[in-house]
Amino acid sequence: MICFTQRVPADTNLQITPKERLNAEAWYLSQIGSELSLASPTSAPTIISSHARYAELCERYGEPTVKRETISSGINPNALAARLITIVFRLGDTILSTDTDVVLRTAEVEIPRSFTIYNVLGIVGKKFRLPPMQLKLIWEDGDDASVPSNEAVSGNSVPRDEVLVPRTRNLGTWIDGMTASVRVEWSEQDRNRAEAARTRRN
């Protein structure tokens, strides 16, 4: 209700904090962006007109990220295949060095672009039999990030990693390709806990 109206009716006795309104409106705008990402460009005006506060929220927070798969990929952007991302998940060193019961090290999964990172964590946790909310997902996007020459192993660039932060933002707004490689690590807090447990075992 917060995100659909600028003012809450006085007779509801509902107290809304500025932070609650900001979170709700930002979430609503991100959902519009996801809807636009999954639709064809010709459908955009119709979608936008169905959201009365779109212009107002864009003025306040900026336009949402819209990423569409292009026809050059050889796949119709409205087809089912274009709505899925094939992700290869692999366990990282923080898990492999602390969990001796690991059976599966890599897994390839097709995930809808509309899923949030919370949904993805749930899938990964089930696949590897690990507690999902103790995990950190790192997208290895393959691009190079410039670094000072004295810090690079060779040349002046290194592969860039991006942490997929758990929030309501859709997976398709993070990863715009058809495939991706994601490393699975313990979150910082749980990494320290796991290393302490391993030390005690040793």
Distances in whole angstroms, Cα of residue 76 to Cα of each of 39, 73, 83, 172, 202: 11, 8, 10, 16, 55
What CA–CA distance (Å, rounded) separates 153 from 135? 28
**What confidence score (pLDDT) does residue 87 get?**
95
Per the CB < 8 A criterion, the answer to whether 174 and 153 are in contact is: no
**Nearest Cα to 85, choosing from 72, 73, 101?**
73
Strand, coil or helix: 111: strand
Q: How confident is the model at residue 14 (pLDDT cuts 50, 70, 90)?
A: low
What would be the CATH architecture of the domain defined by 77-201? Roll (3.10)
Which pLDDT value is given to residue 149?
A: 47
Q: Quick one: pLDDT at residue 5?
A: 53
Amino acid, single-letter form, for residue 87: I
Q: Are 144 and 160 in contact (CB under 8 A)?
A: yes
For 31-63, write each residue's pLDDT tens digit: 888 788 777 788 888 889 988 888 988 988 888
Residue 131, φ and ψ in degrees, nearest 5: -65, 115
Q: For 89-118, how does the pLDDT look when each residue is reduced to its tens digit (9 = 90+)?
A: 999 999 998 876 778 999 999 998 888 899
Backbone φ, ψ for residue 163 (5° rounding): -75, 130
Q: Model pTM?
A: 0.54
Q: Where are the domains of the chain?
A: 2-66, 77-201
- Coil, strand or helix at 86: strand
Contacts of residue 61, Cβ cutoff 8 Å, sequence gap at least 6: 25, 26, 29
Dist CA 129 CA 54 (whole Å):
41
